[in-house]
Structure 1
């Protein structure tokens, strides 16, 4: 049963948007070229249809420009501010920290009240309000004592450090929680709606249960209502059949892509279409089963275990945890146009979040202090990279 709280009754004009497709310890730079995946294993392209579009080069590059900040505690979400600085959430501490993008100086804004960090839960994704210039609201997805929920908090810059976050206003609640598979990525789409990737909390059946919020991509108004134009009447569910969605990104034509943890065989990159079923637990990876939407690319978990994704330079860039690498997935429409390439393999350890930094640059966070990594001196860190 779907449980949600609508914090503010919304009076909205109809919003119509058709999404035509579419879920190392050292500080040295990468080699000149990335490792190329075997078509039979990592990043297996999945055929489909694509409109005539410009195709990016088959091979790309990654250059680490600098380490922006070090000494971060279990960083998870990352949100660039309008002035270029960065906000980063700490999964375990439940805090949000501002990072000066030039000097790397860190200022803790405060703690988000109500976070209950355990297992893979805690303070996860963050996103700025579409009206941030006027309302200074930060949206956050976190695990509470009873569920996963989305709140918004006022960022009051004029208050002393450590006291700059207001009390959380619950926008949406009732997302199933577990020791594992809490999802957690949130992002505002090109349509101004709030998208959230959820996990099935270790209870597989929830992913196929349309009345459950677990194992889904949700689409909400900023006030937490089911967004106008959603595929199922009066429901926040946008797509279903997901195991654990932790990456959301749109291309320049407003098509949504999502990364997803598999279990033992295949991790996935999916092109998201509203109302489609992405298979879990009926299928893991490409199955060809009628009624299930196959991924556009798939990897074995030891090469991926994907978290955040971003779109830049004609490709999806996918941060990998267990795989300890950054994947480049070149696209033509919603097809993979060439074999995905891996970069930074093992160089910085586990990679959690990747966010566009403008043009051909990305912000990239490591995730070595989360209990599953091997922290090096300076971990965790934020990197600035140039991609092509």
Structure 2
């Protein structure tokens, strides 16, 4: 398999366009104008808003005693793959049994601070190629690799040698981004962070503070907004969640600094404004957030779409946020669930229908782990 490396993007001039089941909503956060985030604009004709009030029920714990789980990828047979940020391993979790089988350790992972083995995703052609993609921090950068997964081999030896498809993403002790996902178009999307160097977010010649879009081989995807660049949108602080709705529209969750965390509707060429703005802004150069929260109520990571709403995992906020949608606007104020019930929540992934997979993140050095942490849960939502 031929290695492809993309170390930088072409320099371009900065353009002007940069507790379970409870339905309580303490901390549903007002916008910068003091009103609850929501939308007055209607969506497309024929698009119906979900109910303003939803519900969440924790069905079961699928697996526990996990160490620093970060990425989660459902397999076609119903099992789950989960990455360990600090150990650099990928483990298969039996959907019904919870049995853990370690596939192997990904070589080259340098885990420090917020870096390590982060997001994972299955190839669009997984049924025939059995490739697993991973976003990882090395000694020099953040990069994306792909590996052959062969379950016929002994446990611990089921991952092939990593093939680097994209590299050169800035690394740091903080803000390494890390979420990867294949979109409905078959392209690979990656959320990156500005690695603590704020200026990178507005620098199109840098891969930091961006959402990237590339082919499965790591080449800039056809139709990207900035020519031969992999950059799809810019002006981000630390993107850690990517999700598409049922109309194939992209949304992303993002860490703020001291004031506003965000979930954004992403369009090609968007500029989120960081570090010039944080949260909603009247500056016409920037595309403001769909919804925003004070940082103690969110610190968002994973993002998923189900039942007409976005579902966003909160780390510092220790809650799961529901953002009802109509089109690319909110149809009702966001609603919080599981407040403080399971500690820090890291990753949320659609499991089909009204089900989600949800992981905790209490062993990441910033939480207070219970005896059985960390865990993966199955939840029902509406």
Alpha-carbon distance in 2 for matches of 1:292, 1:88: 35
1:6 equivalent to 2:10? Answer no
Alpha-carbon distance in 2 for matches of 1:46, 1:205: 31
Instruction: For residues 149-172 of structure 1, give each alpha carbon's deviation from its aligned partner in whole angstroms, at most 9, with x where no partner exists.
Output: 000011111110001111100000
Instruction: For residues 286-310 of structure 1, give each alpha carbon's deviation from its aligned partner in whole angstroms, at most 9, with x where no partner exists.
Output: 0111110000100001000000000
The equivalent position to 2:38 in structure 1, one of 12, 32, 45, is 45
Alpha-carbon distance in 1 for matches of 2:362, 2:320: 15
Task: Give 1:308's aligned residue.
Answer: 302
Q: Could you tell me how far 1:51 is from its partner in structure 2?
A: 1.7
1:205 equivalent to 2:199? Answer yes
Q: Could you tell me how far 1:46 is from its partner in structure 2?
A: 5.8
Q: Which runs of 4+ in 1 moved over 6 A?
A: none
SS in 1 for 2:127: helix
Q: Could you tell me how far 1:33 is from its partner in structure 2?
A: 2.3
Task: Give 1:159's aligned residue.
Answer: 153
The equivalent position to 2:20 in structure 1, one of 30, 33, 45, is 30
Alpha-carbon distance in 2 for matches of 1:6, 1:288: 41
Alpha-carbon distance in 2 for matches of 1:49, 1:177: 40
SS in 2 for 1:206: helix
Q: Could you tell me how far 1:377 is from its partner in structure 2?
A: 1.0
Task: Give 1:144's aligned residue.
Answer: 138
Instruction: For residues 246-292 of structure 1, give each alpha carbon's deviation from its aligned partner in whole angstroms, at most 9, with x where no partner exists.
Output: 00000000000000000000000000000010000000000111110
Alpha-carbon distance in 2 for matches of 1:225, 1:84: 31
CA contact (8 A) 1:304 1:323 kept: yes
CA contact (8 A) 1:34 1:61 kept: no
1:192 equivalent to 2:182? Answer no
Alignment of 1:47-62 (within 5 A): 50-52=43-45, 53-62=47-56
Alpha-carbon distance in 2 for matches of 1:125, 1:320: 16
Question: Aligned in 2, Cα 1:375/1:39: closer, same or farther, shift over 3 Å?
Answer: closer
Q: Could you tell me how far 1:44 is from its partner in structure 2?
A: 2.5
The equivalent position to 2:59 in structure 1, one of 65, 72, 75, is 65
Segments of 5+ residues of structure 2 without an aligned counterpart are 7-18
The equivalent position to 1:135 in structure 2, one of 129, 136, 146, is 129
Q: Could you tell me how far 1:227 is from its partner in structure 2?
A: 0.1
The equivalent position to 1:247 in structure 2, one of 234, 241, 246, is 241
Q: Could you tell me how far 1:193 is from its partner in structure 2?
A: 0.1
Alpha-carbon distance in 1 for matches of 2:111, 2:296: 26
Task: Give 1:233's aligned residue.
Answer: 227
CA RMSD of aligned residues (A): 1.5
Q: Could you tell me how far 1:6 is from its partner in structure 2?
A: 2.5
Alpha-carbon distance in 1 for matches of 2:123, 2:21: 38
CA contact (8 A) 1:46 1:297 kept: no
SS in 1 for 2:284: coil
Q: Could you tell me how far 1:7 is from its partner in structure 2?
A: 5.9
Question: Aligned in 2, Cα 1:280/1:67: closer, same or farther, shift over 3 Å?
Answer: same
TM-score, structure 1 as length reference = 0.92
Alpha-carbon distance in 2 for matches of 1:133, 1:48: 41
Alignment of 1:84-123 (within 5 A): 84-123=78-117
Segments of 5+ residues of structure 1 without an aligned counterpart are 9-28
SS in 2 for 1:231: coil
Task: Give 1:270's aligned residue.
Answer: 264
Q: How many residues align?
A: 364
Alpha-carbon distance in 1 for matches of 2:178, 2:85: 10
Task: Give 1:11's aligned residue.
Answer: none
Q: Could you tell me how far 1:94 is from its partner in structure 2?
A: 0.2
1:83 equivalent to 2:77? Answer yes
TM-score, structure 2 as length reference = 0.93
